[in-house]
Structure 1
Amino acid sequence: MDHPSSRPVGRIGRRSALAGLLALTAAACSSSSGDPGAGQAGGGADDFPLDLANCEATLHFDAAPQRIVLLESAPVTTLDGLGVLDAVVARAGAFPRGYYDAELTARIEAIPALSEDIDTAGHLQISQEVVIAHSPDIVFGLPNGLTREAMRDAGAEVVVQDVFCAAAGERASFETLSSTIATYGRIFDRHEQADALISTLEERVAAVSDSAADLRTATAAVLYPSLGGGPLYTYGAGSMVTAQLDALGIENVFADTAERVSEIGSEPLLAADPDVLIMLYQGDGDGSEVRDEMVTQDQLSGLQAVTQEAVLPLLFNFAEPASPLVVDGLERIHEWLLEREG
């Protein structure tokens, strides 16, 4: 197990985050396929056929996709911002109401649900035959049991969140969010909508970062507890939670962990003893039951964040992966810290 970081981030992290914000619009116009002219606003039929790098794969589109299957909830707000959510023909996994307003919740619940079977580690359980039966031309998410090859043979490309396949140790930033939105804008031929969404999110992140200058909280750890006494996971440099904490000028005590997410024992957590804990969870509810189960574990009882009740439950997509929900999550963390510090 990697040991917690001893390198201070603090207010330097905020300056790094702001520097990253200045690159958001530039990143939005960059090409994932290496074509220096791709990704500019306007676009149209001339953008196709389109080849895009996605993790270890190259995706090919002859035209903008018309039938979307969602096997994860994270892309919802990006697709909605681009004006293509109505093209979703099926969904699977958890889509908690806590992420969305009433109007968007109603639209999501009107989409046929294929499976809501989530294991204790938060992974969707579904067969690829069920997905293929809905004739998608693009699928978001690659849970166990599905392969890119099978989906492509059935006429669908699979998009995996870039943050899930970044190089180990690579530090996440809000440029990742900008790049993701820009890529979706290219896929669906919605360049202007992508640029507008990026600009709005850029302004919101900058506003939070400026307002966070006087926060006294110095350190934090972000955890995902498995239910029923299973493993405890923490998030490192490659996670968007590190980008959030950098924007707030707070040190992620596990930001030097090479993996984006890794299993953790009590010893390194007790040694780091962060000021606050952010506890990620999935499903409906406010997360209080999951938080209570986690903090009652004997090995965590000595943490100052536990004794001082400085534990924030946060729905998973408010922290991971890169979507507009991460900006919502940043604002929620900031508001919670302001309330705590009075």
Structure 2
Amino acid sequence: MFPKTTLALLALIAGAGTAHATQYPLQLANCGVTLRFDKAPDSAVTVGQATTEILYALGLADRVKGTSVWFTEVLPQFKEVNAGIERLADNDPSFESVVAKRPGLVTAQYEWHIGPQGIVATREQFADLGIPTYILPSDCLGKDNSTGSDGTRTAMYSMESIHQGVTELAQIFDVEDKGAALVGDLKAREAAAIDKARALDLHDASALFWFSSAEMDIDPYVAGRKGPPAYMMQALGLRNVIESDEEWPVVSWESIARANPSVIVIAKMDRRRFEADDYEKKLAFLKSDPVASQMEAVRNDRIVVLDAHAMDSSIRNVDALETLAAALPALGLR
């Protein structure tokens, strides 16, 4: 019998020739809005690193006229193409800067950037100018973005929502074969990482994911129980010590210390909105704070540094699974 990872790769190979050209007009339901495309867009502007890297992975870098909202350096394989594309903003771009590029499509990672309360603009504002907008389904499916600063998950996050985003963007741009290949690769790598971690047979190991903090010495933003990090923990056999449904709730260090996680995963990023965006300052805090320093994970040096963007819904979630699966065996968990 073939192992799951081999079966996944065989399925990918078998399906590689089954993709077909997009039939236009194409109509899609996207985060509550119906989109129609009579042809593939000739250009795009991305608001969110996740959508930027998906378009690059689909071989569409030549269509991208501007990018924005960056957490970390672009994936190494896209460094060269990304260097030739204008970055409109490291963080939130202005509506005017996006429109000035006259894009055939605007893609967004988060609904709070382009949505009912969009801080860049609403979808209606773009539509009034004849510019369609596409939001990654991973920020809408099983999620209520009207509550909490980063929204509240109503269902456990699944990589299927990322696969849907890849597939739909591939349809929109008429590169369905590349979309099918990318989804197949993500599925195979995901299965391999989960198999590796499950072989450890963890029984009661727990974890905390710390993204950042508005101030170094105040309550941190940590991963809730239904977002991408929670999915990773569940897939790898770890129990999340945070019980909030918010995407990134603020939780006191006293509460976290009482939960006493076996492992702490901290985000590493290039963004510097907050002092705690610097992972080295996170490490220094954990080892010096009178409360945090007493946690089992800190005392036993069970701290894993993870790419911040891999903690958000993106194709990098598979990279995170692989990083964590590789790190767990050395932590002495049971």
* Distance in structure 1 (CA, Å) of the matches to 2:131 and 2:106: 7
Aligned-residue offset at 1:239? 1.3
- Once the two structures are superposed, residues 213-240 of structure 1 have per-residue CA deviations (whole angstroms, 9 ceiling, x without a partner) of 2334721111212253355112224311
**Cα gap change, 1:290/1:154 in structure 2, threshold over 3 Å: closer, same or farther?**
farther
Indicate the residue corresponding to 2:247 in structure 1.
260
Decide which moves more: 288-297 or 107-116: 288-297
Indicate the residue corresponding to 1:334 in structure 2.
325
Whether the aligned pair in 2 keeps the contact of 1:89 and 1:111 (CA below 8 Å) is yes
**Cα gap change, 1:133/1:252 in structure 2, threshold over 3 Å: closer, same or farther?**
same
**Cα gap change, 1:288/1:263 in structure 2, threshold over 3 Å: closer, same or farther?**
closer
- TM-score for the superposition, normalised by structure 2: 0.79
Letter of the 2:78 counterpart? L
Match of 1:135 among 71, 82, 102: 102
SS at match of 1:329: helix
Letter of the 1:289 counterpart? E
Aligned-residue offset at 1:135? 0.6
SS at match of 1:42: coil
Whether the aligned pair in 2 keeps the contact of 1:235 and 1:241 (CA below 8 Å) is yes
Aligned-residue offset at 1:338? 2.6
* Distance in structure 2 (CA, Å) of the matches to 1:319 and 1:244: 9
Q: Structure with the greater relative contact order (CA < 8 A, sep ≥ 6): 1 or 2?
A: 1
Aligned-residue offset at 1:126? 2.6
Whether the aligned pair in 2 keeps the contact of 1:96 and 1:284 (CA below 8 Å) is yes
Match of 2:126 among 148, 151, 161: 151
Q: Quote the RMSD (CA, aligned, Å).
A: 2.8
Whether the aligned pair in 1 keeps the contact of 2:209 and 2:264 (CA below 8 Å) is yes
The answer for unaligned runs of 5 or more in structure 1 is 1-17, 30-39, 117-123
Indicate the residue corresponding to 2:85 in structure 1.
111
The answer for unaligned runs of 5 or more in structure 2 is 114-118, 144-152
Whether the aligned pair in 2 keeps the contact of 1:245 and 1:251 (CA below 8 Å) is yes
Whether the aligned pair in 2 keeps the contact of 1:138 and 1:159 (CA below 8 Å) is yes
Indicate the residue corresponding to 2:261 in structure 1.
274
Identity %: 26
Match of 1:173 among 158, 163, 170: 158
Letter of the 1:338 counterpart? P
1:69 aligns with 2:60: no
Match of 1:211 among 196, 202, 210: 196
Indicate the residue corresponding to 1:41 in structure 2.
19
SS at match of 1:301: helix
Match of 1:250 among 220, 234, 238: 238
1:82 aligns with 2:84: no
Whether the aligned pair in 2 keeps the contact of 1:236 and 1:258 (CA below 8 Å) is yes
**Cα gap change, 1:203/1:146 in structure 2, threshold over 3 Å: closer, same or farther?**
same
**Cα gap change, 1:127/1:225 in structure 2, threshold over 3 Å: closer, same or farther?**
same
SS at match of 1:52: strand
Aligned-residue offset at 1:92? 1.7
Aligned-residue offset at 1:115? 1.4
**Cα gap change, 1:58/1:279 in structure 2, threshold over 3 Å: closer, same or farther?**
farther
Indicate the residue corresponding to 2:308 in structure 1.
316
* Distance in structure 1 (CA, Å) of the matches to 2:179 and 2:197: 27
**Cα gap change, 1:232/1:211 in structure 2, threshold over 3 Å: closer, same or farther?**
same
**Cα gap change, 1:270/1:82 in structure 2, threshold over 3 Å: closer, same or farther?**
same
**Cα gap change, 1:264/1:158 in structure 2, threshold over 3 Å: closer, same or farther?**
farther
Letter of the 1:89 counterpart? K
* Distance in structure 2 (CA, Å) of the matches to 1:233 and 1:112: 31
**Cα gap change, 1:78/1:177 in structure 2, threshold over 3 Å: closer, same or farther?**
same
SS at match of 1:263: coil
* Distance in structure 2 (CA, Å) of the matches to 1:261 and 1:227: 12
Runs of 4+ in 1 over 6 A off after TM superposition: none
Indicate the residue corresponding to 1:4 in structure 2.
none
Decide which moves more: 129-138 or 173-182: 173-182
1:291 aligns with 2:282: yes
Indicate the residue corresponding to 2:170 in structure 1.
185
Indicate the residue corresponding to 1:200 in structure 2.
185
- Once the two structures are superposed, residues 144-186 of structure 1 have per-residue CA deviations (whole angstroms, 9 ceiling, x without a partner) of 2322111222232222232323333301122222222212222
Indicate the residue corresponding to 1:7 in structure 2.
none
* Distance in structure 1 (CA, Å) of the matches to 2:135 and 2:294: 38
How is 1:11-50 mapped onto 2 (pairs within 5 angstroms)?
41-44=19-22, 46=23, 48-50=24-26
